[in-house]
Amino acid sequence: MNRRERWVNSCVHAVWARMQRAGEIVPGTRAAEAFGSLGEGSSIGFPAATVMGARSIHIGARTLVGRQVTLSVGYGPDDARLPERGLVIGDRCVVGARTSLTAHSSIVIGDDVWFGQDVFVSDASHGYQELGVPIGLQLGEHQPVTVGSGSWVGHGAIILPGSTIGRNVVVAAGSVVRGTVEDNAVVGGSPIRVLRRFEPGVGWLSAAGDLRPVLPAFLPPKVQVGGPHPRG
């Protein structure tokens, strides 16, 4: 690479870095005013993938939303039937790049929830029962989704309509969640199964029929079993 090419390359990266900083949606920007609420210290990375139904989206304080994330409520930009609080994200959350949160009725994410990249969450799917009608036109039932405070959702996980995830839950990367996950559990697989759970007074236990206390692999060696749940 010659000197001119190096200079052009450096300029492109510098300009793109400035555009990313300048394009963030943060409180006080015109784009932020379209949201139902966007808390102090929160930001949505630039560029976003899709932002739709922003007036029905509420984001708490000090929450970071990565780049190329989809935040949407409703069936289109002209949908006049949006719920008042279709997508609610709590305080101090992290939403990884390319994650898609698509709400039609209600998705509620608690405080201190961290998502890896490429996570998909939706509260509605499609029907398939009407033969001769394209599946994409068979709108499914709205089934609210909740993710409890303090939980971690790993890279590429899918949370299906009607799911309820408790507090301080680890959802392993690539998992498919449907149904209810109890508090203080580690789940994984497609469909998910409980890998570990916390038993008060005992500690973290294997759920594979072996009730001996186990130390999760992601804990540092000095963390005591039964102590505060780590961020991993």
Using only C-alpha atoms, what is the Rg of the chain?
Answer: 20
Residue of 58, 126, 155, 229 marked active site: 126
How high is the pLDDT of residue 80?
83
| Residue 133: C-alpha distances to residues 120, 125, 128 (Å) | 26, 15, 8
Domain ranges of the chain: 24-193
- In which band, very low, low, confident or very high, does the pLDDT at 107 lie, cut at 50, 70 and 90? very high
CB 45 within 8 A of CB 24: yes
Other Cβ atoms within 10 Å of 43 Cβ, number: 19
126 given a catalytic annotation: yes
Per-residue confidence band for 218, with pLDDT thresholds at 50, 70 and 90? very low
pLDDT at 183: 96
129: left (phi over 0), alpha (psi -120 to 50) or beta: alpha
Fold exhibited by the domain 24-193: UDP N-Acetylglucosamine Acyltransferase; domain 1 (2.160.10)
Half-sphere exposure of 67 (CA within 13 A, CB side): 8
Higher-pLDDT residue of 199 and 71 is 71
Per mean pLDDT, which range of 14-18, 108-112, 150-154 is the poorest? 14-18
Tell me the pLDDT tens digit for each residue of 45-80.
999 999 999 999 999 999 999 999 999 999 888 888
Q: Round the average pLDDT of the chain to a whole number and report it.
A: 89
pLDDT over threshold 70, residue 222: no
The runs of H, that is alpha helices, within the chain are 3-23
Note the pLDDT of residue 137: 87
